[in-house]
A and B are shown apart, each in its own frame.
Chain A
Amino acid sequence: MRGRAGRSLSDRPGKAGSSEARPILYLSEVDVRKYSFLWMLFPALLLYTVFIAYPFFSSLGLSFYDWPGIGPKKFIGLSNYKNILSGFMAPEFYRALGHNIVFFIWSLILSVVPGLFFAFLLSADIKGTKFLKVIYFFPNTLAIVVVGFLWGLLLNPQWGLVNQLFRVLGLGFLAKPWLGNTSTALPTIIFVTAWRGLGFYILVYLAAILGIDREMTEAARIDGATEMQIAGRIILPHLLPIIATTSMLKFIWTFNIFDIVYAMEGTQGGPAGSTDVLGTLFYRIAFGGLGSSQVGMGLGATVVTLIFLLVFPVSIFYVFIVEKRVERGE
Chain B
Amino acid sequence: MMFKLNGLQKAIAWIFLALLAFVNLYPIGIMILSSFKSTREIFLKPFNLPAVWRWSNYVSAWQRADFATYFKNSILVTAASIAAILLVSSMAAYVIARFDFKFKRGIYLFLLAGLALPTRLAIIPIFLIMRSLHLLDKLSGLVIVYAAGGIAFSVFLLVNFFKKLPRDIEDSAKIDGAGPFRIYWQIDLPLLKPALVTVAMFNFIDVWNDFFFPLILLSSRVKKTIPLGLQAFFGEYTIEWDVLFAALNISVLPILIIFLILSKQFIAGMTEGALK
| A and B together in one complex | yes
Residues of chain A whose beta carbon lies under 8 Å from any beta carbon of chain B: 1-11, 33, 35-38, 40-41, 43-45, 47-48, 50-56, 58-59, 69, 114, 117-118, 120-126, 129, 132-146, 149-151, 153-154, 159-161, 164, 195, 198-200, 203-204, 206-212, 214, 217, 221, 227, 230-231, 235, 242, 245-246, 249, 252, 256, 258, 279, 282-283, 286, 297, 300-301, 304, 307-308, 311-312, 314-316, 319, 322, 325-327, 330
B31 neighbours in A (Cβ, 8 Å): 150
Cβ of B89 under 8 Å from chain A: yes
B126 neighbours in A (Cβ, 8 Å): 51, 55
Give the interface segment out of B51-59, B60-68, B92-100: B92-100
B237 neighbours in A (Cβ, 8 Å): none
Residues of chain B whose beta carbon lies under 8 Å from any beta carbon of chain A: 1-5, 9-10, 13-14, 16-17, 20-21, 23-25, 27-28, 30-31, 43-44, 46-47, 87-89, 91-92, 94-96, 98-103, 107-126, 129, 144-145, 147-149, 151-152, 155-156, 160, 163-164, 167, 170-171, 174, 179-181, 184, 205, 208-209, 211, 227, 230-231, 234, 248, 251-252, 255-256, 259-260, 263, 266-267, 270-276
Which listed residue (A7, A53, A242, A286) contacts B113, Cβ 8 A? A53
B94 neighbours in A (Cβ, 8 Å): 37, 40
Closest Cβ of chain B to A123, distance in Å, is 4
Assess the A312–B5 pair: CB atoms within 8 A: no
Assess the A315–B115 pair: CB atoms within 8 A: yes
- A45–B260 Cα distance when bound, in Å, is 33
Assess the B91–A44 pair: CB atoms within 8 A: yes
Asked if A227 meets B122 with Cβ closer than 8 Å, knowing A40-B181, A50-B129, the reply is no
Asked if A124 meets B2 with Cβ closer than 8 Å, knowing A45-B107, A132-B21, the reply is yes
Q: A8-B101, A43-B91, A283-B120 are in contact. List 12 more A-B contacts (CB 8 A).
A: A6-B100, A35-B101, A37-B181, A40-B91, A52-B148, A124-B10, A132-B17, A141-B205, A143-B252, A145-B227, A146-B248, A235-B2
Closest Cβ of chain B to A202, distance in Å, is 9
Closest Cβ of chain A to B272, distance in Å, is 7
Which listed residue (A124, A159, A207, A314) contacts B4, Cβ 8 A? A124
A326 neighbours in B (Cβ, 8 Å): 160, 163-164, 276
Can you list 15 residue pairs at the A/B interface with Cβ under 8 Å? A40-B92, A40-B180, A59-B121, A121-B16, A124-B1, A124-B13, A129-B17, A137-B263, A141-B205, A159-B44, A217-B2, A256-B116, A282-B121, A283-B120, A301-B121
A47 neighbours in B (Cβ, 8 Å): 88, 144, 147-148, 151
A126 neighbours in B (Cβ, 8 Å): 5, 10, 13-14, 17
Assess the B88–A44 pair: CB atoms within 8 A: yes
Which listed residue (B98, B114, B256) contacts A5, Cβ 8 A? B98
Secondary structure call for the A interface: helix
- A59–B120 Cα distance when bound, in Å, is 10
A322 neighbours in B (Cβ, 8 Å): 160, 276
A139 neighbours in B (Cβ, 8 Å): 24, 28
A211 neighbours in B (Cβ, 8 Å): 273, 276
B145 neighbours in A (Cβ, 8 Å): 51
B10 neighbours in A (Cβ, 8 Å): 124, 126
Asked if A161 meets B2 with Cβ closer than 8 Å, knowing A9-B102, A203-B271, A204-B270, the reply is no
Assess the A150–B129 pair: CB atoms within 8 A: no
Closest Cβ of chain B to A41, distance in Å, is 4
Assess the A5–B4 pair: CB atoms within 8 A: no
Closest Cβ of chain B to A282, distance in Å, is 7
B125 neighbours in A (Cβ, 8 Å): 54-56, 58-59
